[in-house]
Amino acid sequence: MDWTDAAELIDGDLEGRLVFTCEHASAALPEPWTWPPQDRWLVDTHWAIDIGAADFTRRVAARLQAPAVLSRFSRLLIDPNRPLDSDTLFRESADGRTVHLNESLLEAERKRRIERFYHPYHAAVSSLVERSACDTVFSIHTFTDDYEGEKRHLEVGVLFDEDEEPAYRLVKHLANAGFHVAPNEPWSGKVGLAYSPVRHAREFGRRALEIEARQDLILEESFRERLAEALAGFFS
């Protein structure tokens, strides 16, 4: 399967412990899709992309010499961190406003996006995890500090489903490094919101973890470096 349009692959040590993924790395709408005029306000917002996640993924992957897969399409086109039956696979509203890109989608359009982006992205991750000796599929996401009027003071969340032991060790490690961190916040991996890493970890008998870093902080060089150093220390 050709996943060129769907995924950016970063080379790394296939004998190492980690494969990184970044499901919300891009705000791009590949041709022939374009933003409806009414949706222009969404383009550079957290609704379209996990701000700062792609740059941080590349940084920490390089630091740990680990391979990575990053999406090349906006989560508003289709969200690869959701199962196919999710009601937010094609998000229809944001901040109480209609997402016109996804308004009244016909089944043929849904299938078109699934076949061009969703399946190829996951095929790229599956191929990489299968070829690697990694013990952990590690997904990197970011979250807004103001979600529909709700102020968030958390700095880093660690999401997980069944892999509680490594998740709580990571929470403790990050807390000891000085981060305001919490398990399964601001979302929970136990209700399917770490879908992609969990899916591919289960597929090959690996562990799955996801971090959520606050977007206003991940844009700061000092915070990025501290977090990269803490993750490198945890997996060394």
Distance in Å from the first CA to the final CA of the chain: 34
Structural domain boundaries of the chain?
7-235
Residues in the chain: 236
Q: What is the pLDDT of residues 51-91, one digit of tens each?
A: 999 999 999 999 999 999 999 999 999 999 999 999 999 99
If one counts every other C-beta atom within 10 angstroms of the C-beta of residue 85, the result is 7
Q: Which two tokens stand for residue 169?
A: 């060790």
**Model pTM?**
0.96
Chosen CATH of 7-235 out of 3.30.930.10, 1.10.357.10, 3.90.1150.10, 3.40.630.40: 3.40.630.40
Q: Facing residues of 182 across strands?
A: 157
- Please give the Cα distance from 40 to 164 (Å, whole number): 40
What integer pLDDT is reported at residue 147 of this predicted model?
Answer: 75
- Please give the Cα distance from 92 to 114 (Å, whole number): 16
Q: What is the pLDDT of residues 18-33, one digit of tens each?
A: 999 999 999 999 999 9
